[in-house]
Structure 1
Amino acid sequence: MIKAKELEIVLIVASTLSILLLYLIGAKVSDPVSLEKAEKGSLVNFTGICVYSQKGFSILYDGNNTIILYETLKMDKSYKVIGKLLDESKRTVEALKIEEASKNTLNLESLEGAFWKDSSCYLLTPQRIKLSKCLNVTKGEKVKVYGLFYGDRFHVVDYIPKGLLKTPVNGMPFRIKGVVIRNITPITIWNGSEEINAYLPYKTKLELGDEVEITGIAKLYSTLTIYANSPSDVKVIGKAKTVPVGKETIGEIAYGVCQVTKDGIALSLNCTELKLYGFSADFGDIIEFYSIRRKNSLYCIRCIVKTPREELPNSICNPISGIPLKIQGKVTSVKRYKNGFGLANVTNENCWILVKLPKSLGVHPEANETLTAFGFYTTYRGAPAFEIPSRDDVCLDGPC
């Protein structure tokens, strides 16, 4: 008797639910149809990607059609929906059943390019395609994405990472690694085989000799050029190797203590054939320096005058060929020739030397004046002589 009563209650509940379902769908119970074949009130079956979602409102898209659901769904997820079509425009569906669908059930598009992050996330092909979301891959990495275009962006359902580009492609992301050998705009990087120019983000600074890794957009000019758009794309990973001057290669730091043999915009030194830029010193000064090696020159990183030329010993009694010297003594006589060339005999204690005075030097010492000069030991008609490079290298009756 009790079992019969329970069965009667179950049948009543089932009947009530069936009536309610018929009321909700407003149609005869039948198999769901596609959106194209449906009419208002029909039971429809629709599979698509969620291309818009906010609380209690979502839009699904299958590549051709869109439907509106008053449900909260997850963006870029695939869903299969069975529900009642509420309007003749075939836009709004009252969902009766929603389940996540496999991406294989959709006719998805596929694109290949490189992931890039700027104000938004993009796929570069190199055409810039805005993505519906950022990908969990390295910036600049090649990817193959699956999804659908909707509105102004590509909605990504799935993607496959394919690693960084190994050779630069115009307009595509590329990562370079090397040593900073020039740090003005654009900076120049030596990667071990060639120079690469790079434009850095605003206020991003690098030091000469920094070993860096930079990710940016490649432009294939005569010199490969990289444009980095974020400070996070510029990483200092070390410092160039320091070696004794004369043993350095491009991109290494040369260290030395050497004497200036010629001054000017660049310094000539007695320890290398390369000129040193970025530092000022006088002819004859002994300098200590750390410099970055470029293709045909050195550039100062940290340089000091270790021994000013004024502190050099007086070499009038002990002249040495081939190196800058200092002499100091009293002018005992001066001889001038018709062509303007002159000779001054300078003595110090028991030592003497002839100082050459070409007209271009513009120096006119008088007897008994004290002459201090910096130059090179030479000879004149077999006699010991001294040659002065410029007017700045000689002083009369006073310190230089």
Structure 2
Amino acid sequence: MQIRDVIYLLLSIVFLGLALIVSNQEPTKLSDASEGSLVEFVGVCAYSSGDFSILTDGQVSVPVYSYLEPGKVYRVVGIYRGKGIKPREIREGTLELEEYIGAYWVDYYPSILTPKKIKLRFGLQNVTPGDIVKVRGVFFGSRLVPVEYEKLGRLREPRDGFPFNFTGVVLYGGNPALMLWENRSVRVYLRDNKTLTPGHRVSVLGITRVSGSRITVYASNFSILGIADEMIVSGGCRISEVLDDRVKVECLDMPLSNVTGRVGDIVEFKALKRFRDYLCLSCNVTQRATMENMICHPEIGKVGRVSGVVEEASMKRGSLLIKVSKNGCKVLVKIREQLNVKPGDKLDAFGVFSTYYSNPVLIVQGREDICVNSSCN
């Protein structure tokens, strides 16, 4: 054997011995590691791109020079170099995880609301915003890295600070809009200056604020499902009273808004029923000029017209009572205003028939509904 061969043999023995020493070396903790040390670390993959990943246990994070699947727990053994681990062995690991229950939400980033917002490192697969989820993971910086999660259902009632998905009818349009949901009113604020139209059935998803009986939803998105036909009424009848911003009509139990007219006018309407009124969605008004003279056949409780000659007029308890006759028929007209009228004047009036000491009387609302020596058409 030549000297050179002997040298090669001795070197091989030395290297084999060193390898055996290293292979039997117990890995140290990352906190005790120095350059070239054999280390062991258990953590969750918070980031991975190509052959570079980052593991974290929620307290300490370390680069690993290998591709790892985000969201998985790994046990890595390797050489500590350049403040990272060059792995020799990669296995599945176990780690104590933090657990949170809340509503999944995606705004500018995925999160869960408990109702405190906890940002997630990445989104949850097969989970939709508004789902209640149980998430287990560790934090990487300010964001939770999800490792395990399960869906627990969705909220059936609005809770303060949580997402809520509901379907209701728009009662008052615009932005904010007021919607009817299960006989409760919900104020809805929309993004990007969008508006809702009264009478539409709408599905809304957004963050809820609840204060006592008041429910407010800041909508993330919404979809129009169609017209709420069950909330729409149609018909036609006469105006019985004019209010400041709406009218009363004979055939509805509440005032009709979004329409103007005079007592005696006929309103053909398609209207949305709301809490305290009906909103006119489509209305046509026919003037009262063709209404017949009902002096000879008054109907108590009905809108009527009386035209005739004044027989007498007197003030009674703050109201002016006028006896009017025509073609042998007589009826009283009552108005709560001063009016310059005398026997022999011609009178034309619109109002609602009632009784005065068992006698029919036409109650006139205001001066625009009674005319002396002229027509009130």
Do both proteins adopt the same fold according to a TM-score greater than 0.5, normalized to the shorter chain?
Answer: yes
- CA deviation vs aligned residue, 1:343-397 (integer Å, no higher than 9, x gap): 46464xx46545636571435478576x432124567899876443210112343
**What one-letter code is carried by the residue in structure 2 that aligns with 1:259?**
R
Q: Quote the residue 2:3 is aligned against.
A: none
* Change beyond 3 A, Cα 1:282–1:399: closer
- CA deviation vs aligned residue, 1:309-361 (integer Å, no higher than 9, x gap): 123233345443331123445x4x564558894646464xx465456365714
Q: CA deviation at 1:54?
A: 4.2
Partners of 1:92 and 1:381 in 2: how far apart?
A: 103
Residues 311 and 325 in structure 2, CA contact (< 8 A), matched pair in contact too: no
Q: Quote the residue 1:120 is aligned against.
A: 109
For residue 337 of structure 2, give the secondary structure of its aligned residue in structure 1.
Answer: helix
**What one-letter code is carried by the residue in structure 1 that aligns with 2:24?**
S
Q: Quote the residue 2:250 is aligned against.
A: 270
Equivalent residue in structure 1 for 2:289, among 302, 310, 325:
310
**What one-letter code is carried by the residue in structure 1 that aligns with 2:29?**
L
Partners of 2:355 and 2:158 in 1: how far apart?
A: 60
Partners of 1:41 and 1:380 in 2: how far apart?
A: 110
For residue 136 of structure 2, give the secondary structure of its aligned residue in structure 1.
Answer: strand
Q: Quote the residue 1:286 is aligned against.
A: 266
For residue 273 of structure 1, give the secondary structure of its aligned residue in structure 2.
Answer: coil
2:233 is the counterpart of 1:254: yes
* Change beyond 3 A, Cα 1:133–1:282: same
Aligned residues: CA RMSD: 3.7
For residue 292 of structure 1, give the secondary structure of its aligned residue in structure 2.
Answer: strand
Q: CA deviation at 1:285?
A: 1.6
Partners of 1:382 and 1:73 in 2: how far apart?
A: 95
Partners of 1:305 and 1:364 in 2: how far apart?
A: 35
Equivalent residue in structure 2 for 1:207, among 186, 197, 200:
197
Partners of 1:270 and 1:336 in 2: how far apart?
A: 29
Instruction: Please list every run of 5 or more consecutive structure 2 residues that lacks an aligned counterpart in the other structure.
Output: 1-7
Equivalent residue in structure 1 for 2:140, among 150, 160, 169:
150
**What one-letter code is carried by the residue in structure 1 that aligns with 2:223?**
K
Q: Quote the residue 2:86 is aligned against.
A: 94
Q: Quote the residue 2:370 is aligned against.
A: 394
2:165 is the counterpart of 1:170: no
Partners of 2:179 and 2:313 in 1: how far apart?
A: 56
For residue 24 of structure 2, give the secondary structure of its aligned residue in structure 1.
Answer: coil
- CA deviation vs aligned residue, 1:39-93 (integer Å, no higher than 9, x gap): 4212333332222344554321123432223445443333443321125xxx222
For residue 392 of structure 1, give the secondary structure of its aligned residue in structure 2.
Answer: helix
Partners of 1:69 and 1:391 in 2: how far apart?
A: 90
Equivalent residue in structure 2 for 1:325, among 304, 316, 335:
304
Partners of 2:287 and 2:137 in 1: how far apart?
A: 71
Q: Quote the residue 2:150 is aligned against.
A: 160
Partners of 2:360 and 2:179 in 1: how far apart?
A: 50
- CA deviation vs aligned residue, 1:181-208 (integer Å, no higher than 9, x gap): 3336554333334333333334232233
2:208 is the counterpart of 1:218: yes
Q: CA deviation at 1:264?
A: 1.1
* Change beyond 3 A, Cα 1:201–1:305: same
Partners of 1:284 and 1:189 in 2: how far apart?
A: 33
In proportion to residue count, which structure has more strand?
Answer: 2
For residue 164 of structure 2, give the secondary structure of its aligned residue in structure 1.
Answer: strand
Residues 284 and 325 in structure 1, CA contact (< 8 A), matched pair in contact too: yes
For residue 28 of structure 1, give the secondary structure of its aligned residue in structure 2.
Answer: helix
Q: Residues 1-400 of structure 1 correspond to what in structure 2 (within 5 A)?
A: 28-31=22-25, 33-36=27-30, 38-87=33-82, 91-97=83-89, 99=90, 101-102=91-92, 105-136=94-125, 137-183=127-173, 186-230=176-220, 232=221, 234-242=222-230, 252-265=231-244, 266-295=246-275, 297-328=276-307, 331=309, 335-337=312-314, 341=320, 343=322, 345=324, 347=326, 350=327, 353=330, 356=333, 360-364=337-341, 371-377=347-353, 386-395=362-371, 396-398=373-375, 400=377
- CA deviation vs aligned residue, 1:131-166 (integer Å, no higher than 9, x gap): 001223121111111211111111112211111123
Identity, % of aligned pairs?
Answer: 29
Residues 195 and 223 in structure 1, CA contact (< 8 A), matched pair in contact too: no
Residues 312 and 342 in structure 2, CA contact (< 8 A), matched pair in contact too: no
* Change beyond 3 A, Cα 1:31–1:213: farther
* Change beyond 3 A, Cα 1:120–1:363: farther
Normalised TM-score (structure 1): 0.75
- CA deviation vs aligned residue, 1:231-265 (integer Å, no higher than 9, x gap): x2x233343343xxxxxxxxx33333222211113
